[in-house]
Amino acid sequence: MGTPSFIIVGAQRSGTTSLYEYICAHPEIRPAAQKELHFYDRLYRNRDLDWYEDRFPDGLTGEATPAYLFMPHAADWIASDYPKVKIIVLLREPAARAWSHYRMMVRAERENASFCEAINLETERAVRHGFYSREHADIAYVDRGKYAQQLGRYRLRFPSRNILVLQAERFFANPRQTMETVFGFLGVENHELPQYVTRNVQLPQPMPKPCAARLGRIYTPHNEALYALIRERYDWLTDKPLMGC
């Protein structure tokens, strides 16, 4: 039985599987029983903390459940149980993230609407299923990309020194450099891999232009709020058709 030293809380479809794999390749870090334990988004009211800690080995360890960023109660519950845990957040340009999320659901045969239709139906579906229900989370293509409010919940509950925010595009482009930052944040020596294999990649496919334009309008104020929160600007362009993977 152990306790998490770090938790990757999101975002979904932003490279968290690759990031977790690279972290756990470090000789001083041991993986949990599985990457995504879903304790703080699905199981918190049904399982006790012993069940959760049984999934960790002794020593430096952690998990990665991307839904924790989106679910509003997760930050409170994590902070209550582990106030000193280190939080890692990997953020992808939100329109590309939404498109990748949608394509994943289509591939799983869990989405029949077109992408533009799914965007239009998102609020109606959330009302029908219940906001922040598991069903809502599965089809929250737009809402999951409104990062400022989600990250803000963690900023309110953890000291800034215990939160690392990473841009996914920089991670994809230069994983070696990103991992040096991550290992420094975790307090261990840098550890380079012979190669960095990206996991869960879909073949690129252009997003429909009307959807890209609409998402650009939706996300512009949310991105500006994020930049103000993290005091950094990302080179995200949400007003053009995007290739999603």
* Chain segment 141-181, per-residue pLDDT in tens: 999 999 999 999 999 999 999 999 999 999 999 999 999 99
The average confidence (pLDDT) of the chain is 95
Give dist(CA 110, CA 100) in Å, integer.
Answer: 14
219 pLDDT more than 60 = yes
State the average pLDDT over residues 126-146: 96
pLDDT band at 239; cut points 50, 70, 90: very low
Between 188 and 198, the more confident residue is 188
Q: Domain segments of the chain: what residues?
A: 6-238
Average pLDDT of the residues in 210-234? 96
pLDDT at 199: 86
Mind listing the pLDDT tens digit for each residue in 101-119? Answer: 999 999 999 999 999 999 9
In the chain, which ranges are continuous DSSP H helix?
16-24, 49-53, 67-70, 74-81, 94-107, 115-129, 134-138, 147-157, 168-173, 175-186, 209-230
Question: CA-to-CA distance for 179 and 191, rounded, in angstroms?
Answer: 8
Q: Rounded CA gap, 23 and 195, in Å?
A: 13
pLDDT band, residue 201 (cuts 50/70/90): confident
Q: How far apart are CA 79 and CA 87, in angstroms?
A: 10
Paired tokens of 192: 């380079």
Residue 244 has what pLDDT?
A: 52
CATH T-level topology, domain 6-238: Rossmann fold (3.40.50)
pLDDT digits (tens, 9 = 90+) for 10-58: 999 999 999 999 999 999 999 999 999 999 999 999 999 999 999 999 9
Question: What does pTM read for this prediction?
Answer: 0.95
